[in-house]
């Protein structure tokens, strides 16, 4: 299904919607008439997101674990329900204090590793927890966790930076998605992990990357549109192809 306008609007939570892939996801969903709760850490810096029709800007700090599930439950009520959660928010070695120590075991410090894991893995699960009652009540509740090819165990890329924090967190998110798919299967809620590709974003490859985030966003939305129980637990590329766990 293309991101053109549809007769029936879905209610979608997109985390990390203030920039990059998250903003592109919110833009594409808005353009086709969906109702979107776009989460950001600082709403005052989310003018572009706030200008989108059908989009509400919601403050959410995934590093503040105790606040996540209640905040998501409240925004789900304001949204009138939830049909789809897209966990796009993430941090990496460049966006947490002393994060560069996670690039090598020789300088490794515990807190930056834990900071990345708290947001990228625990935070994503707490978002689902907060939205779960609404996902269960929806006729098509689904979960899409944005991961990375760098978290692939079988396809470990030896020619890329060691990057312990980010790689370990995304590998953990992959396993968390498999576990989530297994737990939610009896309720008919599919969950998948999606690699968005090497994008031209601040957290991606910048100008060196070969994929526009808008193109990745359209592919991810197409996956979400077609997602059913036959693919739950899968690790997919943005174009729908199976990726090696």
| CA distances for 107 relative to 100, 104, 125, 157, 191, angstroms | 9, 6, 29, 21, 36
Domains in the chain, CATH or no CATH each: 11-237 (3.40.50.720)
Predicted local confidence at residue 199, as pLDDT: 76
Token representation of residue 158? 């030896």
Predicted local confidence at residue 148, as pLDDT: 95
Predicted local confidence at residue 4, as pLDDT: 42
pLDDT bin (cut points 50, 70, 90) of residue 227 is very high
pLDDT in tens, 116-136: 999 999 999 999 999 999 999
pLDDT bin (cut points 50, 70, 90) of residue 5 is very low
Q: Is residue 3 over pLDDT 50?
A: no
Q: What is the pTM of this model?
A: 0.93
**Ranges 97-111, 157-171, 184-198, 228-242: which has the least confidence:** 157-171
Predicted local confidence at residue 204, as pLDDT: 59
């Amino acid at each position: 299904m293309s991101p053109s306008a549809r007769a029936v609007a879905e209610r979608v939570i997109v985390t990390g919607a203030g920039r990059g892939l998250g903003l592109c996801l919110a833009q594409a969903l808005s353009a086709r008439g969906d109702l979107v709760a776009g989460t950001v850490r600082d709403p005052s810096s989310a003018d572009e997101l706030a200008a989108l029709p059908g989009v509400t800007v919601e403050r959410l700090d995934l590093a503040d674990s105790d606040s996540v599930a209640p905040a998501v439950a409240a925004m789900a009520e304001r949204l009138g329900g939830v049909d789809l959660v897209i966990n796009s928010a993430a941090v990496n070695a460049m966006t947490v204090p002393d994060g560069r120590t996670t690039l090598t075991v020789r300088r490794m410090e515990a807190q930056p590793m834990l900071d990345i894991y708290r947001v990228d893995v625990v935070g994503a699960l707490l978002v689902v927890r907060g939205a779960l009652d609404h996902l269960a009540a929806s006729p098509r509740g689904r979960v899409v966790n944005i991961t990375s090819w760098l978290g692939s165990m079988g396809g470990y890329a030896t020619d890329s930076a060691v990057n312990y924090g980010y790689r370990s967190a995304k590998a953990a998110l992959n396993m968390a998605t498999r576990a989530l798919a297994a737990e939610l299967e009896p309720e008919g809620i599919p969950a998948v992990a999606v690699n968005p590709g090497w994008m031209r974003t601040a957290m991606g490859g910048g100008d060196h990357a070969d994929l526009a985030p808008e193109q990745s966003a359209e592919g991810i939305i197409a996956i979400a549109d077609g997602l059913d129980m036959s693919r739950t637990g899968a690790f997919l590329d943005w174009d729908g192809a199976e990726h090696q766990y």
